[in-house]
Amino acid sequence: MTYLDHAATTPMLPEAAATLTEALGRVGNASSLHSAGRRARRAVEESRETIAEAVGALPSEVVLATGGTEADNLALKGLYWARRAADPRRTRVVVSAAEHHAVLDAGEWLAEHEDAVLDVLPVDPEGRADPAALKALLADHGDEVAVVSVMWANNEVGTVNDVAALAEVAHSCGVPIHTDAVQAVGAVPVDFAASGVDALSLTGHKLGGPVGVGALLLRRDAACTPLLHGGGQERDVRSGTLDVPGTMSLATAVRAAVADVSRRTTVLTALRDDLVARVVTAVPDARLNGVPLDRPGERLPGNAHLSFPGCEGDSLLMLLDARGIECSTGSACTAGVARPSHVLLAMGLDEDLARGSLRFSLGHNSTAADVDAVVEAIGPVVERARRAGDALARS
Amino acid sequence: MRVLAAMSGGVDSAVAAARLRDAGHDVTGVHLALSAKPATMREGARGCCSVEDSRDARRCADVLDIPFYVWDMAARFRDDVVEPFVAEYAAGRTPNPCLRCNEKIKFSAVLERARALGFDAVGTGHYARLSSGGVLRRAADPDKDQSYVLGVLRPDQLSGAIFPLGASPKTEVRAEAAERGLVVAEKPDSHDICFIPSGDTRGFLGERIDDAPGEMVDTAGEVVGHHRGVHDFTVGQRHGLGIRRPAPDGRPRYVLSLEPVSRTVRVGPAEELDVTVLHCAAPVWLGEVPTDCVVQVRAHGGLSAATVRVVDDGVDVALAEPLRGVAPGQAAVFYRPDSGGDVVLGSATIAATSR
């Protein structure tokens, strides 16, 4: 089996799995006062310190949550509510057009239910949010904006934003900024403090940790209204009994993944570049979406996103799956129907080309054999998918 | 063979897929998304195109351990099934959308795409028997027989079809689903038109067809009422005519015919609904054109022995016994009676009838 869908989820690192399974056998609520509770609390706090150190944050800035979706929702809604409460004129929410649905839909929800005005920041043909565009928007509406959210790295085409520049623009207008760094942590260098952002989402299962645990890094001076009310855990921002084994495993994975970024970048960039070059040789009219490979720092090392003119993405997916190659078409709606990706459309691709796209995402255990398998399959698969596309157009 | 199993999320197509797999075929499940805006779980809706059905189909495919995909056929379904359905009603005819879906979607767009992707056939949970030689027969279970809605298929379409349930009674299929651990074993049968889950066909049409008010006249030519458009009626309809005055003889009145140009709905007594000749267009034959046969004029019932005569623009079908309430727009499917299951000979679209 050739697994090239690491951006969807990546296999757990053996050390993270070991931490998790070992901890599952122990009792202890980290809020309890007795010794089991104290042991649990110590494990959580040490994990929190590990995570903080790996991503350039203070331990007190780590708000544990269930993953990227919760962290994104908490950031968008929490920062919006708090900022609007402090200054009722601030009702605008700014997100980039290439955001994950966890951000986009949270913004839309605020517009529908909380009287917010949603401003969607366009992205350039490479999928990048332009700091100048944010600056222009804030020049007109700076005192009305409650929160800005722009992802660190895009989940579909792998484009890495200049988050520090965006943060500087937002702060010049007194606006807090959140970044969804779910795809970035463990893949590219991420330093929370140096980036200047007020909030950052990360999740375990994209970097070799378990599903169901993640964190929102939240600066102490960023006011954030909670989504969940209860026992007051996590600075009262995120109530709920702490997941001790999950947190310990998350910390193990974050530490290992971040420590390995430089080595992985070298390995995955080489594999990815090889994959793209050989796929384009096999299918000459295939085109790479996102940032060109000669600017590696602006693209996630493991991401190869390609369009195949005349093909339906789900035909390609099915044919590759039948050959044991697992990849992704990008976004799927709840019914499992492939829709043209909003990211690709925002980048200016036409609908047909957007539909005929595949994302191959490499990760920590990808090998040259995985690339060979894709290269071997892609020619006949594309040819067959084209015939199916023609048949559909004809019938 | 490589077989694409069309899986609606119901019990029949799930068991069909299971049998195909057990027969040694290389089976891939596909759910056809036919609605542009599928009802979500949150809305709690049920219907052929709901997210819940898609989930049920996926769940069954997972239990069968076969690959599963959702194919978006919404645009094709809208163009080839829903819009013609509305247009037919607006023209005073009564279409059968299931039949059209088989002809234009399942055994055309889906089959073509499947063939191009390297599949040999499309398998469905329809109740009909199809031999390897392309002979289509009624199902063994007379209550479930769906040969009528498959009767429009051409030989090249039937050559790419497999119906694994044709020889089984429905009760056996449900029991088999339960035995196989398929969660849909107890799922109720679908009855309504899948794209009208509310069952309110008139309401659905009313939203899509402009009112074209006209008169309702009886057989004497007397105006007995008014209507907002012929699309509100079907030949043979008795209820909902909106006539205030009872007939002079006190007997119920039925819709006899719909005339969209003059916007006239003709009503009259039941016996006037009896027809003895069907004028049919666009015949499709699976072999020799028959002379004597049995014709079926609607999905359930409406059978008569008949004689077929080829005419310029189609066929005229003389009925041995009059049939009541034959609606233009429906298909006439021709059968040869056979103890091993009546054999489908072909079909045509009923354009007009005469008494």
Structural domain harbouring B150:
2-186
Looking at residue A307, its pLDDT comes to 97
Which chain A residue has the Cα nearest residue B114?
A388
Regarding whether A229 and A110 lie in a shared domain, the answer is: yes
Regarding whether B170 and B214 lie in a shared domain, the answer is: no
The answer to whether the beta carbons of residues B26 and B34 sit under 8 Å apart is: no
Residue B202 lies in a domain: no
Q: Report chain A residues touching chain B, CB-CB < 8 A.
A: 314-315, 317-319, 321-322, 334-339, 384-385, 387-392, 394-395
Regarding whether B230 and B131 lie in a shared domain, the answer is: no
Strand-strand pairing, B274-285 and B343-354: antiparallel
Residues A331-347 have pLDDT tens digits of 554 446 667 899 999 99
Which of B26, B56, B70, B104 is best to mutate for the A interface (most A CBs within 10 A)? B70
- B198 burial class (0-12, 13-18, 19+ CB within 10 angstroms)? exposed
Residue B331 lies in a domain: yes
- Using the 3D structure, point to which of A259, A281, A314 is the last residue of a domain: A259
Looking at residue B44, its pLDDT comes to 41
Mean pLDDT (chain A) is: 95
Residue A92 lies in a domain: yes
Tell the residue number behind the tokens 């796209």, with chain if given. Answer: A357
Regarding whether B56 and B26 lie in a shared domain, the answer is: yes
Regarding whether B244 and B128 lie in a shared domain, the answer is: no
The arithmetic mean of pLDDT across residues A279-288, rounded, is 98
DSSP string, B253-299: -EEEEEETTTTEEEEE-GGGGEEEEEEEEEEEESSSPPSEEEEE-SS
Looking at residue B37, its pLDDT comes to 63
> Among residues B48, B60, B101, B280, which one is catalytic?
B101
> Which residues does B333 contact at the CB level (< 8 Å), separation at least 6?
B147, B148, B151, B152, B295, B296, B344, B346, B347
- Residues of A with Cβ-Cβ distance to B156 under 8 angstroms: none
CATH of the domain at B42: 3.40.50.620
Regarding whether A233 and A283 lie in a shared domain, the answer is: no
CATH of the domain at A385: 3.90.1150.10
Decide: helix, strand or coil at residue A10.
coil
Regarding whether A208 and A146 lie in a shared domain, the answer is: yes
Residue B289 lies in a domain: yes
Regarding whether B248 and B303 lie in a shared domain, the answer is: no
CA distance A384 to chain B (A): 6
Regarding whether A244 and A298 lie in a shared domain, the answer is: no
Look at residues B338, B288, B292 and name the one whose alpha carbon lies nearest to residue B317: B292
Residue A183 lies in a domain: yes
Amino acid at A246: G
Q: How many domains are contained in chain A?
A: 2
CB nearest to A384's CB, from B28, B69, B117: B117
Whether the pLDDT of residue B46 is over 50: the answer is no
- B250 burial class (0-12, 13-18, 19+ CB within 10 angstroms)? exposed
Helix H or strand E segment including B51: helix B51-64
Residues A224-235 have pLDDT tens digits of 999 999 999 999
CA distance A7 to chain B (A): 20
Residue B76 lies in a domain: yes
Residues B6-44 have pLDDT tens digits of 999 999 999 999 999 999 999 999 999 887 665 544 444
Comparing A285-294, A327-336, B34-43, B334-343, the range with the smallest average pLDDT is B34-43
Residue A336 lies in a domain: yes
Residue B317 lies in a domain: yes
Give the Cα separation of B153 and B104 in Å (integer).
9
DSSP 8-state secondary structure symbol assigned to residue B353: E
- In chain A, beta strands by DSSP E: 2-3, 62-65, 92-96, 117-121, 145-149, 177-180, 199-203, 214-218, 287-288, 303-307, 325-326, 357-361
- B263 burial class (0-12, 13-18, 19+ CB within 10 angstroms)? middle
Quick one: pLDDT band at residue A395, thresholds 50, 70, 90?
A: low
Residue A1 lies in a domain: no
The arithmetic mean of pLDDT across residues B269-292, rounded, is 92
> Which residues does B74 contact at the CB level (< 8 Å), separation at least 6?
A337, B33, B34, B35, B36
Regarding whether B159 and B52 lie in a shared domain, the answer is: yes
Q: Which residue has the higher pLDDT, B249 or B215?
A: B215
Decide: helix, strand or coil at residue A226.
coil
DSSP 8-state secondary structure symbol assigned to residue B187: P
Both tokens of residue A89? 């004129």
Look at residues A289, A290, A357 and name the one whose alpha carbon lies nearest to residue A320: A357
Residue A2 lies in a domain: no
Whether the pLDDT of residue B235 is over 70: the answer is yes
- Other beta carbons within 10 Å of B175: 14
Regarding whether A188 and A303 lie in a shared domain, the answer is: no
Residues A202-246 have pLDDT tens digits of 999 999 999 999 999 999 999 999 999 999 999 999 999 999 999
Half-sphere exposure of B16 (CA within 13 A, CB side): 31
- Other beta carbons within 10 Å of A383: 13
Quick one: pLDDT band at residue A268, thresholds 50, 70, 90?
A: very high
- Using the 3D structure, point to which of A259, A287, A318 is the last residue of a domain: A259
B38 touches chain A (CB under 8 A): yes
Residue A18 lies in a domain: yes
Tell the residue number behind the tokens 């207008």, with chain if given. Answer: A173
- Using the 3D structure, point to which of B268, B298, B314 is the last residue of a domain: B268
Which of A1, A318, A319, A329 is best to mutate for the B interface (most B CBs within 10 A)? A318
Residue B205 lies in a domain: no
Looking at residue A246, its pLDDT comes to 98
CATH of the domain at B278: 2.40.30.10
Give the Cα separation of A206 and A263 in Å (integer).
17
Q: Which residue has the higher pLDDT, B68 or A332?
A: B68
- Using the 3D structure, point to which of B268, B290, B306 is the last residue of a domain: B268
- Residues of A with Cβ-Cβ distance to B33 under 8 angstroms: 335-337
Give whole-number Cα distances, A265 to A296, A301, A362, in Å: 9, 6, 11
- Using the 3D structure, point to which of B239, B268, B297 is the last residue of a domain: B268
The answer to whether the beta carbons of residues A252 and A49 sit under 8 Å apart is: no
Give the residues across from B309 on adjacent strands. B316
Structural domain harbouring A360:
261-394
ipTM: 0.83
Regarding whether B99 and B238 lie in a shared domain, the answer is: no
Regarding whether A283 and A248 lie in a shared domain, the answer is: no
- Using the 3D structure, point to which of A259, A277, A309 is the last residue of a domain: A259
- Residues of A with Cβ-Cβ distance to B154 under 8 angstroms: none
Whether the pLDDT of residue B214 is over 60: the answer is yes
CATH of the domain at A249: 3.40.640.10
> Which residues does A332 contact at the CB level (< 8 Å), separation at least 6?
A338, A339
Residue A3 lies in a domain: no
Residues B133-165 have pLDDT tens digits of 889 999 999 999 999 999 999 999 999 999 999
For chain A, the maximum distance between any two Cα atoms, rounded to a whole number of angstroms, is 72
Question: What φ, ψ does residue B26 adopt, rounded to 5°?
Answer: -90, 105
Regarding whether A86 and A43 lie in a shared domain, the answer is: yes
Regarding whether B137 and B71 lie in a shared domain, the answer is: yes
Residue A96 lies in a domain: yes
Angle at which helix B11-22 crosses helix B170-179, to 10 degrees, equals: 70
Regarding whether A165 and A131 lie in a shared domain, the answer is: yes
Regarding whether A291 and A219 lie in a shared domain, the answer is: no
Both tokens of residue B120? 């040999």
Looking at residue B246, its pLDDT comes to 74
DSSP string, A237-290: TS-S---HHHHHHHHHHHHHHHHTHHHHHHHHHHHHHHHHHHHHHHSTT-EE-S
Quick one: pLDDT band at residue A101, thresholds 50, 70, 90?
A: very high
Regarding whether B284 and B249 lie in a shared domain, the answer is: no
Regarding whether A233 and A151 lie in a shared domain, the answer is: yes
Q: How many domains are contained in chain B?
A: 3
Task: Please indicate whether residue A224 is annotated as part of the active site.
Answer: no
Task: Please indicate whether residue B98 is annotated as part of the active site.
Answer: no
Mean pLDDT (chain B) is: 90
B83 touches chain A (CB under 8 A): no
The arithmetic mean of pLDDT across residues B276-304, rounded, is 93
Looking at residue B249, its pLDDT comes to 78
Query: Looking at chain A, how many residues does it have?
Result: 395
Give the Cα separation of B125 and B176 in Å (integer).
13
Decide: helix, strand or coil at residue A215.
strand
CB nearest to B67's CB, from A321, A338, A391: A321
Regarding whether A148 and A129 lie in a shared domain, the answer is: yes
Look at residues B309, B303, B271 and name the one whose alpha carbon lies nearest to residue B290: B309
Regarding whether B284 and B257 lie in a shared domain, the answer is: no
Residue B94 lies in a domain: yes
Quick one: pLDDT band at residue A391, thresholds 50, 70, 90?
A: confident
- Residues of A with Cβ-Cβ distance to B115 under 8 angstroms: 391
Q: % helix / strand / coil in chain B, to the nearest 5?
A: 30, 30, 40
Which conformational region is residue A67 in: left (phi greater than 0), alpha (psi within -120 to 50 degrees), or beta?
A: left
DSSP 8-state secondary structure symbol assigned to residue A334: T
Please indicate whether, in this complex, the C-beta atoms of B69 and A319 are within 8 angstroms of each other: no
Residue B196 lies in a domain: no
Percent of residues, chain B, with pLDDT higher than 70: 96
Looking at residue B72, its pLDDT comes to 86
> Which residues does B133 contact at the CB level (< 8 Å), separation at least 6?
none
Half-sphere exposure of B54 (CA within 13 A, CB side): 22
> Which residues does B70 contact at the CB level (< 8 Å), separation at least 6?
A314, A335, A336, A337, A338, B30, B31, B32, B33, B54
Regarding whether A190 and A167 lie in a shared domain, the answer is: yes
Regarding whether B49 and B25 lie in a shared domain, the answer is: yes
Residues A349-388 have pLDDT tens digits of 999 999 999 999 999 999 999 999 999 999 999 999 999 8
Whether the pLDDT of residue A113 is over 50: the answer is yes
Regarding whether B11 and B160 lie in a shared domain, the answer is: yes
Query: Looking at chain B, how many residues does it have?
Result: 355
Whether the pLDDT of residue B51 is over 80: the answer is no
